[in-house]
Every structure is written in C-alpha cells, then in structure tokens.
Amino acid sequence: MRRIIFILLTHCLALTATLHAQTVLLSGKITITDGTPAPGANIVLLDANKNISGIYKTNELGIYSLSINPKEDKEVSVSFLGYRKITISSDSLHISADRKSRLDLVLKEDAVLLNEIVIMDENLEKDTIKLKLGTLHLKENDALEDILKKIPNFRISEDGSILYKGKNIDKILVNKQGAFVNQNSIALKNIEKKIIDDIDIINNYQNSFNLDFDQRNETVLNINTKENYQHIFLNTLSIGYGVKDKYDAQGKSFYFSKGINAFLISNTNNTGSATVQEREISNIFSVVQPFSSYQKSALTNLFIRDENRTSDFLSTNNFTVRKEGERSRFSSSVYYFNVNNQNNTSSNSFSETGKNLQNKKSEFKYQGNNILSIVEYDQRIGRNNILHYFLSGNMLRNTSNVSQLNITSPDDQENNLLAIQQSNIFSIFNKLGMSSKIHKKLILDNEISYYHESTDQPDNSISNLSKGAGIISQILGYKSNIFGGKSALKYKYNDALMPSLCFQLKSNTEEIKFRPAPSVGQLNRTGNDLSVSLQFAGNNLYKKFSYLAAVSYQYLTNNSSNISKQRSFIPVKLELDYENRSDHVNLQYSRKMTTGDIDAGILSIRSFDQIVMGAIPLALNIVTSNELAFSYAYNNFFKGISYDASLSYASYAEQIKQGLVSIDENGIQLYKLYLIPLSSTYRFAGNASRILFKYHFPAKASIGLNHTITNAPGVYDNAITPVNNKQTQLILNCQTLTGHSINFENTLNLTYSRLNIASAPFSSNYLSNTTAIKFSRKRTDIKLSFIYQHNQVLRQHYIRKNCHLIANYNMEKITLGIEARNIDDLFGLFNNKAYNTVLSFDNGITNIRVKNTALHYAILIIKYKF
C-alpha cells in the first residue's frame, strides 16, 4: 500500500510542470496619501477574463517584487484595507531592455465615518467595518474581551468563541498579519485598549498562500496597534498569594511587528484559572488528524475547568511565533501543561423505573504532564507553485486515582474501591503538499501524510480496600500507523462554476496488546479508505450567493482476526450561502461514513468503576451520519442591533453504546457494548442583542433561547429502550454602559430538562442568577458579583449562594489587585453543600451528581508591565 501511494504521488507531481513564457520583473512601493508604507497590500494579477493568475503582498515597508507575463496577465490590481483599489493595465507598463518594470502607487482613503464606525465602500471590500472605540467608555487597561462584550454585534462565549453574523471568528490579526489562530482566549484576555488604534472586521479575508479558485470567505478581526506599540516587546509579570496558600503567577511577553508576531505566556496557579480552552486546542491539533479515543480520555480532565474542586493546580505555557513574507510563511506553537487537581462528588444511580441501584461518594485526583506542538510552513516556488508542510507532535503523560465508597442495592453492601489509571501517549503527524497552477484555469493539488501513535497504559487497575484484594488489572499497549495520499484537479470556468475532481486514499494498521489478568490477548485491525469526489463551487452569484456541491464514492474496508467488513457509500456535501451588508443566510447538508474505535473489540476498564465487554466484530463497526443545518443572522452596527436563529438536525446509524449488565459484589458496574440502529438530535437556537437608551443611559440587552430534542436509545436489561431528552434553556443578560462610576450587569440562566426512558419520566430544573456591581473611576476598578443557584432534580432542591470580588488599582506600570472567589465560603456565611448538581443519563443508568465542595480563596496580586 505504501508503494501504491508513493507511485501515485510521483505521477501526480510529474504533472506539475508549468508553462513557461517570457516574463517581466515588476517591482515598486505602495504607500498611502501621507507617504506611509502600505504593508500587506494585496497585488492581484488578472487575465483577460478577469481570472486571478497570481496573488502577492507587499512587505513591511510596502515594497513588492514579482514576475508578470504581459501576454497573459492583462491587469495589475492593488488593494489595501480602507483605501481605494487601483487597477493598472499591463500594456501601460514601461518595460526596460533587461525585462524589468517599476510601478509605485499611492492609495487614497475610501471610508465614511458614521457614529464612530467606518464602513468601507462595498466595491472595495465586502462588509469590511472599522470600529473606533471612543463611544464605549473604555479605560486603557480594558481587555479585548471587555470591549467586544459591550458591542451587541458580537457574542463572546466562555470557551473563547467569537460569533459575528452567525459565523465563528477563529483568526485575530495584528496589523494585518497573522497573530492568533484558534487562540481567541489568549487575545481576548491580553490585548488591551491602550495598544489598540482601531479594530477591523474583515468579512472576506483570504489566505494569500492558497492557489484555490474557490476560497471560502472567512471573517477575521484585525487589531491595528498604535504606532508606539509596534516593534517592541510588551511584557507583564504578575504574582498573587493569599489565604489557604492560594497563588497565581503569570509571565507574558508579546511582540507585534509588520513582519513577525510572537508571544510567550506562562501561568501557574492553584485557583482553577485557565488561559487555554479545549475548543481551541481541538481546532489546532485534531482537525487535520482527529484525536484517538486514548488521547481524548487523557485530555478530558486537562481542559475541563471546574471551580467546584477541592484543589486545582495548573501550569500552562505557550510559545507562538508567526512570520509572513512575500515568498514564505512560517508559524509554530508549543503548549506545555502540568496539572494536578482533585474534586469530590456524590452520586445516586437509578434504573429506568426509578429504582435505586447504587450510591457513591468519590474523590478524583488527576495528574498530568502534556506537550502539544505544531509547525506550519508555506513556500512559493516560482509564481505558480506553493509548497505546504504541516507537522504536529504530542506527548501526554497522565495518572488518575479515584477513591470511591459505594453502597449497592438491594443489600446495601458497602465497598471501598481504589482505581488507578496511567497512560503515556506519543503521536506525530506529517503532511506534505504541493499546489501548482498548471494553466491559468487549472490547479493541481497533491499531498501525502503519515500519522503514528503509540499509547502505553502500564497500570489500569481496580482494588477493593474493604476486602484487601485486587479485582482487575489491565496492562495495555496501542499502536497506530496511518498513511494517506490525495490528489485534486481544479478547474475554473468562471466565478460561478469551478469544478474539481479529487482522489483520496488512507491506509491504516492498528494494534492493541492487552493483559487483563489472567489472560493475554492481542487485537489487530487493518483498513483502507478510498474515495473519489466530484465538486462544483461558485462565488458571487448575483453578487451575493456562493455555493458548494460535492458527491463522492467511498469504499471502506476493515479487517481483523480473519473477519472482514466492506462497505460502499455515497457521501454528499451541499452548502448555499447568501450575504449582504446586514444579512447572512446559510444552508448546509452533509452525509458521511466513518470507522469506529478499535477498543470496542476488547474487554477494557473505563471510568474507574466500569468494566466494558467488547467484541471483535464491533472493532470493525462503520458509522454513518446525516447532518442538516439552516441559519439566519441579522447585524446592524448603526442601530446597535443583532439577532440570529438556527435550526439543525443530525442522525447517526450503527453507533456503539454501553448497556448495563449488572453491578457485582464489589460495586463495579459491568457493561456490554451494543449497536444502536438510529439516534437523532434536533436543535433550535436563537439570540438577540441590542443597545437600549443609546443617548441617555446606554445599556446592552441580550436574550438567548436554545431547545434540543434528542432521541438516543439506551440499553436496559439487554434490550434497546427508547430514550427521549428535551431540554430548553433561556439566558437573559443586561448590562449598563454608561460613563458613570457605577454600572450593573445581571445574567439569568434558566434550564428545563425532561428525560423519558420508555414511559418513565425524569425531570429537572436549573436556575442560576449572577448580579454584578461594577465601580470604575480613574485608577480604580472593582467588580462584586453575587451568585444564586437553585437546582431541582427529581423533586430534590439544591441551593448555593456565593460572592466573587475583583478589585484593581492601576498605576502607570504597576497594578495592585485583590481576587476573591466564593469568599462567603471562607467565612461559612451560607453553609453551601451542593454545587452544580446535574441529572444525566449515562450508558443505561440515570445519575444525580452532586459536587459538595468548591474552591474558595482570596489573593493579593501585584502586576508589573515593562
């Protein structure tokens, strides 16, 4: 199989020989009206039919140099954000005897200022908005997160996601150069108002190192820094210490320039604070090559930030550098996590009829050292070829210990269990690709990839301390090797019709060696995934529409232990998009086929007190899915209004789920894996936000409504049982935005859930209200928050009341602060006993989980900026 991929790649690369013609070296400098260079200005070469034959950018001094063929490249178009586009005919160029030409241009500003918001001429940039921040009553130390939260046109989530017109913004540029890619949480917390000149919302950002005719328009934020904050290091050192030996130490260094953007962040604390979110790590490291089930399990505790813990040590370190020039682009990011946390949980488990099965009190301890890294490099080779290289490598070392006291019905037998799980994981992924424009309307893309993972679990055991005996011990090793090859031929008839043909092949070998006492076993799986796809795409239909339609033929084979499974499938992907200044409509449909995890074929220990019995045929399982989504978003900056709504449906066939078989005399839950014929999820989400009393007492009001219906059958008593879950969530937020010293914010979160298992209903209601008082005057900022939570689960009430305090006194370079969380618990004011109680249905068991402790602390912080 490796030989086939190699031969395929060799033949494809042989086709990348480009057409040669007599060329001219065109160079010059692009400036704006005041003589300032225009770094990152776009220089686009167009043929007689207005097709793009080349895209280039000026360097940090506004200088460019490129090769042009006047016989094919009929126009040179120069554009720069906020300035009028200039188009020059190649026939007007003065060409010297040595085939050189000089073209210097001065760009004129093209913007209209309306109420501190500048909207660019539509012919220049589609929906490009420049935000001036003068009307938001900001202070110099306000973070980007504080700024965007005051604008109703953005929605900021706790996981760092930024939504604008119903679209995720995952790139934040600084001075029009790449800086934060899937690193929103770092930018939101660390980019301060004092360095910001203005903010651009670019709705049609395109990758300059991409030859594709069909480049999907991407929305990004661009932070233009003030002149005195360019080409310098911005450093911050912060140290905090307080009661109960709580501490928080941070060191940060940022460097922004017109050639290189880089930052180094180190944060060590035992207060539960996090600088990185799981969503971002997943987007960076698992989109190209998804995490395996072992990696997902190892990283779960790392990224779930939970204030309801008895201890939470976390050291997060990240170094990122990005450099972009005319001919090459380089970026690298390395993360190191050292974590040690503990939490206590009590839970009650019920059968589908509501019969009590087991009560548990558990103490979870998790330790981990994890390194995740990524390198990307793009290089232009000539004017018609771009080389792409992608490398990621991960090393994960984790240990989990769980002490559990369980009481099992009907005999109320008591057991004291100790579970230990260790895992050492190494993975590396390489991808090399070449994009070649072999004709002005024809592009050939080729790539090869290789992935290797090695997982070792030297200790995965459960012991019964009450009986002084071990119950089960498993030593496991897992290896995976995946080779991939891909070749695509793309043709552009015009902007409305761009067909492409793609061939893709993946070949994998996997192996699990396990030693569950007293037996020894091994499971191997090999497979091939071959697909041929035909795609049609188009942009600017009637100046507003874009579409994508792809249909494929996929042939998937899996083999293990003399058992083989093959399947043919027709994947489909459809997308229709409409967008104008204020409206965005999107319709998507996809049909997919994927292979399940190999560990479904063995007996394994999961979740510390669960033994799961698999079967070899399940290791060959193939899952199919259908997903349909429709969304509409309206956005009006001038009126301070935005709202959006979305509907989605997803169905999955032949998913594997656990079903409870029994609970043994040690209180260990024994499960068997089953195939679920069909499960489905329906979702509706709606959000609205606007500015009220804009001129007299400005306030931002927001409302969010989410409704989900899930039909996901479970297994009870070896039978598939219908399970229906309906959940409705309402979120109301209101915050004042006045220039007065005191402002207020209130957030109300109401959730209603009804779980039906066969004919047995289980209902729960969750209420959470947070009221914050904000005081701000000159150097002083204070925020005092009051939290009230009332959860009703199966007619039982769980109430918590807490107070948080953040206070800062800001000087020119030094900030003195106090940070206190759950300060009421420090003094025992409310006698809280339950935190974040939830009702859940897991693997055939209904559970009520109650966390009975939470982190509470007060620390003094000194921050120094230099």
Q: Which residues contact 36 (CB under 8 A, 6 or more apart)?
A: none
The reported pLDDT for the residue numbered 16 is 38
Same domain assignment for residues 861 and 732: yes
pLDDT by residue (tens digit) across 326-370? 889 999 999 999 999 888 888 888 776 677 888 888 888 889 999
Domain boundary among 206, 234, 262: 234
For position 214, what pLDDT does the model report? 67
pLDDT (mean) for 561-573: 94
Q: Which two tokens stand for residue 582?
A: 């204020």
**Burial zone of 96 (CB within 10 Å; 0-12 exposed, 13-18 middle, 19+ buried):** exposed
pTM of the model: 0.83
Cα(841)–Cα(91) distance, rounded to whole angstroms? 71
Chain position carrying tokens 């330790």? 367
Cα separation of 447 and 463, whole Å?
49
Per-residue pLDDT band for 118 (boundaries 50, 70, 90) equals very low
The pLDDT value recorded for residue 689 is: 95
460-477 core/surface letters (b: 16 or more CB in 10 A; e: else)? bbbbbeeeeeebbebbbb
CA distance 864 to 251: 10
pLDDT at 373 over 90: yes
Pair type for strands 610-613 and 669-692: parallel
Q: For 799-823, how does the pLDDT look when each residue is reduced to its tens digit (9 = 90+)?
A: 889 999 999 999 988 999 999 988 8
In a domain, 22, yes or no: yes
Q: Which two tokens stand for residue 194?
A: 């004092």
Does position 833 have pLDDT exceeding 60, yes or no?
A: yes
Same domain flag for 207 and 228: yes
More confident residue, 136 or 66: 66
The better pLDDT of the pair 727, 307 is held by: 727
Task: Return the closest-CA partner of residue 44 out of 206, 277, 262, 285.
Answer: 206
In angstroms, rounded to a whole number, what is the distance separating the alpha carbons of residues 241 and 728? 41
pLDDT digits (tens, 9 = 90+) for 148-170: 988 888 989 888 899 998 889 99
- In which band, very low, low, confident or very high, does the pLDDT at 204 lie, cut at 50, 70 and 90? confident
Mean pLDDT of the chain: 86
Looking at the 3D structure of the chain, how many domains does it have? 3
Lowest-pLDDT choice from 66-75, 351-360, 480-489? 351-360
Mean pLDDT of 712-724: 84
| End position of a domain, from candidates 76, 107, 138 | 107
Residue 755 domain flag? yes
416 within a domain of the structure (yes/no) = no
Q: The domain that contains 40 carries what CATH number?
A: 2.60.40.10
C-alpha–C-alpha distance, residues 691 and 115, integer Å: 14
Q: For residues 170 and 36, state if they share a domain.
A: no
CB 429 within 8 A of CB 392: yes
Give the model's confidence band at 519: pLDDT under 50 very low, under 70 low, under 90 confident, else very high: low
Q: Which of 312, 323, 314, 437 is nearest to 383 (CA)?
A: 437
Q: How confident is the model at residue 686 (pLDDT cuts 50, 70, 90)?
A: very high
Same domain, residue pair 166 and 56: no
Residues 137 and 21 in one domain: no
Q: What is the pLDDT of residue 13?
A: 41
Sign for the CA dihedral angle at 435, 438, 442, 447 comes to: negative
Write out the two tokens for 715: 């297994």
Cβ-count burial 45-60 (b if 16+ within 10 Å, e if not): bbbeeebbbbbbbbbb
pLDDT band per the 50, 70, 90 thresholds, residue 546: very high
User: How high is the pLDDT of residue 486?
Assistant: 96
Torsion over CA: 286, 288, 289, 290 (sign): positive
Is the domain of 62 the same as that of 122? Answer: no
The answer to whether 558 touches 564, Cβ cutoff 8 Å, is: yes
What pLDDT score was predicted for residue 14? 42
Q: How large is the C-alpha radius of gyration of the chain?
A: 29
The answer to whether position 263 is within a domain reads no
* Highest-pLDDT range among 1-15, 80-94, 247-261: 247-261
pLDDT at 378 over 90: yes
Question: pLDDT tens for residues 166-195?
Answer: 889 999 999 888 899 999 999 999 999 989
Residues 103, 121, single domain; the answer is: no
For residue 8, pLDDT over 50 is answered with: no
Q: How confident is residue 852, by pLDDT bands cut at 50, 70 and 90? A: low
Q: Is residue 203 part of a domain?
A: yes
Q: Judge contact between 525 and 619, C-beta under 8 A.
A: yes
Predicted confidence band of residue 124 (pLDDT cuts 50, 70, 90)? very low
Percentage of the chain beyond pLDDT 70 is 91
Q: Are residues 98 and 184 both part of a single domain?
A: no
CATH of the domain at 123: 2.170.130.10
734 lies in the same domain as 772: yes
Residue 737 lies in a domain: yes
The pLDDT value recorded for residue 534 is 98
**With 0-12 CB in 10 A as exposed, 13-18 as middle and 19+ as buried, what is 733?**
middle
What pLDDT is recorded for position 572? 98
Burial of 166 (0-12, 13-18, 19+ CB in 10 A): buried
pLDDT number for residue 241: 96
Structural domain boundaries, residue 62 = 2-107
Structure confidence by residue, pLDDT tens digits, 388-405 = 999 999 999 999 888 888
Instruction: Indicate whether 576 belongs to any domain.
Output: no
Flag whether 415 is in a domain. no
Residue 830 identity (one-letter amino acid) = F
Residue 646 CA to residue 612 CA, distance in Å, equals: 38
Mark whether 65 and 130 lie in a shared domain: no
216, 234, 252 - which closes a domain: 234
Confidence of residue 408 (pLDDT cuts 50, 70, 90): confident
Lowest mean pLDDT across 67-76, 436-445, 564-573, 812-821: 67-76
- Tokens linked to 215: 């480049």
Residue 121's pLDDT is: 37
pLDDT at 116 over 60: no
| Domain match, 93 and 139 both | no
Judgement on whether residues 99 and 159 belong to the same structural domain of the protein: no
Neighbours of 531 (CB within 10 A): 18
